[in-house]
A and B are shown apart, each in its own frame.
Chain A
């Protein structure tokens, strides 16, 4: 399943890098502790978080994550958006909280870890 299909299916808002959605998603990881994401996420994961600090972009890049989903309609600051565009990291946003969107992706898409 590609990022693009997930965006369409769940009506995510695409905040950055709309030209980078043609990427295969290997699974998902939900965490707000960036050190934990650096240690435990896997390449190609879609990352569900409420952290909006610009370090999330570096972490996504470092771990070759497919996309970041910001929950609860969180809006990243200008630096984060700029960095995401520069690094071609898709930042997506949803009104759902982390538990709900994780559940949807897990059940309806069969996306596991």
Chain B
């Protein structure tokens, strides 16, 4: 086993609010420079750029986790992270069926689906920035039933976070971890939120320079969701080592 540095929450150019410089090769090159071993690709309500990200990562020693940042009807952001792209796309199908509206590029930004080289294959026309009609409990349950890890995004922020929107974390909600943003050191978060759930700092990068601004170190055999799942419950010697600022 060895240490892996993970940034479990980054966006690509597919997210309307992300910069177009967030191309697969740009992201992988930057992550490599910042010595990131595991990247969670979590665009808003879509996993359509994961495949290109995996292609771009192939020459590098970076594991790309298939992910998505789902918006619940309460406007709570939740990450779903998967080993299997098919599982992520299975979730995506349900998310799309519950995601009303069409993107307005002038208002929200472009949503390019790209290939490994960053060439635009098509533009996603769904309102990815919008909220699904799925209740938070349904979102978490769908992520888990598709084999994913469910992590509440940036819980220290007021907007779009579980604590901001809902005041506190509902009892019995089967989350796997809580993400903290680069704005809050993990120790502060631990004192403030005092949760039994592990904290997994991540960057939520929308621009290249933000990648790795916060990260989580894991002790694992390999950079997979299955291994991270073990680390989050301290199973078989796997563990979360700390949250560290870049």
Contact = CB atoms under 8 A, between A and B. Distances in A.
Assign chain A's interface to a size class.
10 to 19
A59 B167 CA distance: 8
Interface in B147-180: 158, 163-168, 170
A35 B163 contact: yes
B135 interface: yes
A58 B136 contact: no
B158 A35 contact: yes
Contacts of B165: 32-35, 51
Contacts of A32: 165
Contacts of B170: 53-55
Nearest to A34: B167
Interface in A33-51: 33-38, 51
Interface in A1-57: 32-38, 51, 53-55
A59 B163 CA distance: 12
A33 B164 contact: yes
B74 interface: yes
Interface of A: 32-38, 51, 53-55, 58-59, 77
6 contacts: A33-B164, A34-B168, A35-B166, A36-B158, A53-B135, A53-B170
